[in-house]
Amino acid sequence: QVQLVESGGGSVQAGGSLRLSCAASGSIFGSNVRGWYRQIPGKQRELVASITTAGSTNYADSVKGRFTISRDNAKNMVYLQMNSLKPEDTAVYYCNINGWLALKGGYNYWGQGTQVTVSS
C-alpha cells in the first residue's frame, strides 16, 4: 500500500504564496504520475497539476503561470509552489499518485487533503 501525507496549507492574502508538500511512502516503484487536485465544497474535485516520473508537467488553465509542480523521485516527494494566489484558489488540496506495478496492475492513492484559504 501507499500512504500520502500533505502539508503546507494555510491562510494567505490574495497575491501571496504557499508551497504544498506531499510525502509518499510504501510500495512505490517504476513510473508513476503524481498530481495535485483541489475541491471546493459543493464542487467536483479538479486536477490542478500533474507530473510524471520523467518530469513532464500538466496544469489546469486557471493556474498556468502561477503554480509550479515539482518532484523529488529519490525522496518520493512532490511539491506545489503556488504564487499570485487568488480567492478562487481557496479549496482543499489533495495529493495523488497513479502508477503501475508489473504483475499487479495499476494503483491510485489519495492523501487526506490540506486546506488552502486565500482572502481578498
Give the amino acid at 98: N
Per-residue pLDDT tens, the chain, 120 aa: give them: 889 999 999 999 999 999 999 999 987 777 899 999 999 989 999 999 999 999 999 999 999 999 999 999 889 999 999 999 999 999 999 999 999 888 888 999 999 999 999 999
- Cβ neighbours around 71 below 10 Å, total: 20
